[in-house]
A and B are shown apart, each in its own frame.
Chain A
């Protein structure tokens, strides 16, 4: 069974940093691209970032380009999102999602981890 479990969310002050993790199981992690998608409270889905299976290609939404970095450790079956210079607008539930390639559909999602940026 495919499982994606996010962790690392929490309350952080504006300007602070946080690193999210997404532990994958039930499939060959390195064969799949991975994505981060976020959802602000009461709002719609917003794509954040995509990383290829080999980690050679990454894409970012303009809203996070620079402060956010996506990486993965295929030996640990884990996806990461390093978030720096956090702002109130980054407050959201962050989901990781699997895709066959960087431009294919997200066929499995985790349950999300909540990030709250507030003083």
Chain B
């Protein structure tokens, strides 16, 4: 059971938009920045979005992050087949004194 809650999977057609949610608590997302990672099949994770809504250099602006209270969202617009991957949210947890991750969301582009 992960501290941050994400849907196990989402799917959408090419060129459409999809939202991946990440729910936490006041000790993690509610107090600290949320970071999003993309893990392509068989590859190491890669930082996409940091501190809620900042886009990593070189990452497509089709990726957008946001946060409200103790929840965060990653929106991917103009879906492409190459976006098929696992997506993870993460935040520092002040109560645990450590990092917490969501369980990951598998994106399928239909």
Interface residues of A (CB under 8 A from B): 35, 37, 44-47, 50, 59-62, 95, 97, 103-112
Contact = CB atoms under 8 A, between A and B. Distances in A.
Given A44-B88, A105-B50, A107-B56, A95 B101 contact: no
Contacts of A111: 44
B47 A107 contact: yes
Given A105-B50, A111-B44, A44 B35 contact: no
Given A35-B99, A50-B98, 11 more contacts: A44-B88, A44-B103, A46-B101, A47-B90, A50-B99, A59-B97, A59-B98, A95-B44, A106-B37, A107-B56, A108-B47
B101 A110 contact: no
Given A105-B33, A105-B50, A106-B37, A44 B44 contact: no
A90 to B, nearest CB: 17
Contact of A109 (B33, B45, B86, B100): B45
Nearest to A44: B104
A93 to B, nearest CB: 9
Contacts of B35: 105-106
A107 B44 CA distance: 12
Contact of B98 (A47, A104, A108, A110): A47
B44 A105 contact: no
Contact of B102 (A37, A44, A105, A107): A44
Interface string B37-76: 1010000111100110000100000000000000000000
A34 to B, nearest CB: 13
B50 to A, nearest CB: 4
Nearest to A107: B47
A37 B96 CA distance: 16
A109 B32 contact: no
Given A105-B33, A109-B46, A45 B88 contact: yes
Contacts of B96: 62
B32 A103 contact: yes
Contacts of B45: 37, 45, 95, 97, 106, 109
